[in-house]
Amino acid sequence: MHNAEVSLLFSNTLGDRLAAAVGFFGFDSLMELVGFAIAIAVAFQAMKGYTLAKERTLLYLNFSFILLGAGLLVEGLANLVVLFSRFHRGGLLFLSSVGYTINFFAEVLAFGILIFAYLQQTRAWSMQLAAAALPIMLVERNPFTELILIFLLVYIAAQTAINYSISKTTNALLVFSAFTSLVIGHVFFLLFTVSPIFFPFAHIFQLFGFLLLLAMLFRVNQAR
Amino acid sequence: MMPSEQAPTAKPAVKYRSQLRIYVDIMKVIQREGNQAKPTRILYGANLSHDRLVKYLEELKTLEIIQETGDEEKTYSLTQKGIEFMNNFRKVESFAGAFGFKI
């Protein structure tokens, strides 16, 4: 009854896809909240590092993960509110779009800041300008928004791959795998705009990416 | 121009170490020497001139990060505060390095 009720509330194309993925609702929010907690832990570690070393790239890392965490928190909570609201659920559905919009802009900014940090090290100013000129205007999950995020994430994943190929450390491998996992997650989000079957996979890969970052944090803090 | 010749205007890319980086380099040398390092070892290990070495050693002593022992032949060792600082710095270095950032 509950699933059928939710399914009826969606009527447009995106709604149809969401309705088909409705069995996964709730889990996606929980995964996003776990991602939020891990992102904040990474941001905290970056802030600790900045306090000690006064290195600006760590501050960028801190901002980036705070934004990532905030976006995940807002989207996760917005979806939970819609899922658990007993009355006026139809009226509250716009919250999902608001949550996604905020998360999208937060992610674009977060990945943009991270790319800026990488470019600061390589001093490629023309690329910085190109990153800053990204278009921003969208509301619902669609192929265009996902393509922007994939584009940004692929650049970051490539940078972390280069770092791993040079340093060959386990921590660098974990960070590279984390961003690769986030790329795959967003590729599945892109495919979700075609078929609902990809929705759970997208969230699972996104969560896996954050768990890899958590593993890296544990390793860093356990090292003597 | 021959391939081996340098353009006269080309300047070598010089990256200066921050004060913190120099402190850390000094502390790393002391740790590498078994927490008992002579000034000459630190001078070569941290790649510093004599004047700068004296300046930084004084600053680290004032911060109670290192301590000086011996009258004629001075040696330097990390204090407990210095050891804790290095442990924390290594974690930060490892964290930043995982993302490919140098500090």
Task: Determine whether the interchain pair A163/B89 forms a contact, defined as Cβ–Cβ distance below 8 Å.
Answer: no
ipTM for the complex shown: 0.78
Look at the alpha carbons of B29, B33, B38, B44 in this order and tell me if their dihedral is positive or negative. Answer: negative
Contact by Cβ (8 Å): A61, B99: yes
Give A-chain residues touching B91 at CB under 8 angstroms. 49, 220-221, 223
HEC letters along chain A: CHHHHHHHHCCCHHHHHHHHCHHHCCHHHHHHHHHHHHHHHHHHHHHHHHHHHCCHHHHHHHHHHHHHHHHHHHHHHHHHHHHHCCCCHHHHCHHHHHHHHHHHHHHHHHHHHHHHHHHHHHCCHHHHHHHHCCCCCCCCCCHHHHHHHHHHHHHHHHHHHHHHHHHCCHHHHHHHHHHHHHHHHHHHHHHHCCCCCHHHHHHHHHHHHHHHHHHHHHHHHHCC
Residues 6+ apart with CB under 8 A from B39: B53, B57, B74, B76
Low-confidence spans in chain B with pLDDT less than 50 = 1-8
Check if A53 contacts B (Cβ < 8 Å).
Answer: yes
Check if B16 contacts A (Cβ < 8 Å).
Answer: no
| pLDDT of the residue at A91 | 65
| pLDDT of the residue at A137 | 47
pLDDT above 90 coverage of chain B, percent: 71
Q: Average model confidence (pLDDT) for chain B?
A: 85
Task: Determine whether the interchain pair B98/A169 forms a contact, defined as Cβ–Cβ distance below 8 Å.
Answer: yes
B69 forms beta bridges with B75
Low-confidence spans in chain A with pLDDT less than 70 = 1-24, 86-92, 122-141, 224
Task: Determine whether the interchain pair A223/B90 forms a contact, defined as Cβ–Cβ distance below 8 Å.
Answer: yes
Choosing among B14, B85, B94, B95, which should be mutated to test the A contact, i.e. which has the most A CBs within 10 A? B95
Check if B100 contacts A (Cβ < 8 Å).
Answer: yes
Domains for chain B: give ranges and CATH numbers: 19-95 (1.10.10.10)
What's the pTM?
Answer: 0.79
Give A-chain residues touching B25 at CB under 8 angstroms. none
